[in-house]
Amino acid sequence: MRIGIVGAGLGGLLSGALLSKNNEVVVFEKLPFLGGRFTNLEYEGFQLTTGALHMIPHGNDGYLAQALRKVGANVKIINSNPDGTFLIYGKEYLYKELFSLVGFKDKVKAMNMAAKLKLGMVDKDMSFGEFLEDVDLALKVGNAFTGWALSLTAYETPMSEIVEIAKNYHKFGGPGIPIGGCKAVIDELTKIIEKNNGKIIKEYEVKSIEIDEKAYIDDYEFDIVISNISPVETQKICNIKFLKSKPKPSKGIKISIATKDGLIKHGGVLFTPECERINGLNQVTNVDKSLAPEGWHLVMTHQTQLTNNVKKEIDLGLEDIENLFKGKEYKILHIQSYRDDWPVNHASNGTDIDNIVNDKLYLVGDGAKGRGGIEVEGIAMGILKVVNHINS
Ligand code: FAD
User: Would 159 be classed as within a structural domain?
Assistant: yes
Q: Kindly state whether residue 363 falls inside one of the protein's structural domains.
A: yes
In a domain, 343, yes or no: no
Same domain, 155 and 278: no
**166 and 149 part of one domain:** yes
Same domain as 161, residue 115: yes
Provide CB contacts within 8 A for 213, sequence distance 6+: none
Ligand 1 atom nearest residue 205's Cα: 19
Q: With respect to residue 148, please indicate whether it lies within any of the assigned structural domains.
A: yes
Whether 89 and 168 share a structural domain: yes
Any atom of ligand 1 within 6 Å of the Cβ of 299: no
At 80, is the secondary structure helix, strand, or coil? coil
- Region of residue 327 (phi > 0: left; psi between -120 and 50: alpha; otherwise: beta): left
ipTM: 0.99
Q: What is the Å distance from ligand 1's center to 122 Cα? A: 32
Judgement on whether residues 240 and 371 belong to the same structural domain of the protein: yes
**Same domain flag for 262 and 331:** yes
Query: Pick from 191, 119, 182: which is nearest to 375 by CA?
Result: 182
- d(CA 320, ligand 1 centre) in Å: 27
- What's the average model confidence in pLDDT over 294-302? 98
CA of 277 to the centre of ligand 1 (A): 23
Say yes or no: 35 and 13 in one domain.
yes
For residue 303, which amino acid is it? Q
Distance 72 CA to ligand 1 centre (A): 22
Distance CA 384, CA 275 (A): 37
Answer yes or no: is pLDDT of 362 > 90: yes
Averaged pLDDT, 294-323:
98
Q: Is 198 in the pocket of ligand 1 (CB under 6 A)?
A: no
Q: Is the CB of 57 under 6 A from ligand 1?
A: yes
Separation between Cα atoms, residue 64 and residue 227, nearest integer Å: 19
Mind listing the pLDDT tens digit for each residue in 61-101?
999 999 999 999 999 999 999 999 999 989 999 999 999 99
Cα 392 from Cα 390, distance rounded (Å): 6
Do 354 and 217 belong to one domain? yes
The reported pLDDT for the residue numbered 14 is: 98
Give the integer Cα–Cα distance in Å for 232 and 238: 10
Ligand 1 atom with the shortest distance to the CA of 55: 28
370 lines ligand 1 (CB under 6 A): no
Residue 93: CATH number of its domain? 3.90.660.50
Per-residue pLDDT band at 120 (split at 50, 70, 90): confident
Beta 24-28 vs 199-201: how paired, if at all? Answer: parallel
Helix, strand, coil percent content, the chain, rounded in steps of 5: 35, 25, 40
CATH number of the domain bearing residue 17: 3.50.50.60
Q: Tell me which of 172, 195, 219 is where a domain ends.
A: 172
Please, which pLDDT band fits residue 2 given cuts at 50, 70 and 90?
very high
> What average pLDDT does the segment 186-206 reach?
98
Q: Residues 210, 35: contact at Cβ < 8 Å? A: no
Q: What is the mean pLDDT of residues 19-41?
A: 98
Query: Which pLDDT band holds residue 162 (cuts at 50, 70, 90)?
Result: very high
How would you label 201-218 residue by residue, b for 16+ Cβ within 10 Å and e otherwise?
eeebebeebbbeeebbbe
**Using a 6 Å cutoff on CB, does residue 253 contact ligand 1?**
no
Q: How far is the CA of 80 from the centre of ligand 1 (A)?
A: 23
CB 80 within 8 A of CB 266: yes
Domain span at residue 144 reads 84-172
Q: What is the average pLDDT value for the chain, to the nearest integer?
A: 97
CA distance 52 to 184: 13
Contact 15, 64 (CB under 8 A): no
Q: How far apart are CA 302 and CA 252, in angstroms?
A: 7
* CA nearest neighbour of 345 among 230, 257, 185: 230
Reduce the DSSP state of residue 122 to 3 states and report it.
coil
| DSSP code at position 351 | -
Question: Is the per-residue pLDDT at 26 higher than 90?
Answer: yes
At 47, the amino acid letter reads: Q
Number of domains comprising the chain = 3
Res 390 pLDDT > 90: yes
Segment 324-353, tens digit of pLDDT? 999 999 999 999 999 999 999 999 999 999
Confidence band, pLDDT 50/70/90 cuts, at residue 118: confident
Q: Among residues 171, 167, 179, which one has the least CA distance to residue 78?
A: 179
Average pLDDT of the segment spanning 352-359: 97
Q: 1: buried, middle or exposed (CB in 10 Å: 19+, 13-18, 0-12)? A: exposed
Distance from the CA of 9 to the center of ligand 1, in angstroms? 6
What Å distances lie between residue 294 and 26, 57, 84, 265, CA to CA? 40, 27, 25, 17
Is the pLDDT higher at 246 or at 379? 379
pLDDT computed for residue 307 by the predictor:
97
| Same domain (yes/no): 157, 191 | no
pLDDT of residue 70: 97
pLDDT for residue 159 is more than 90: yes
193 shares its domain with 70: yes
Amino acid at 2: R
Q: Is residue 344 part of a domain?
A: no
Q: Please, are residues 163 and 122 in contact by the beta-carbon 8 Å criterion?
A: yes
Same domain as 224, residue 95: no
Q: Are residues 93 and 164 in the same domain?
A: yes
> Is the minimum distance from the CB of 379 to ligand 1 under 6 angstroms?
yes
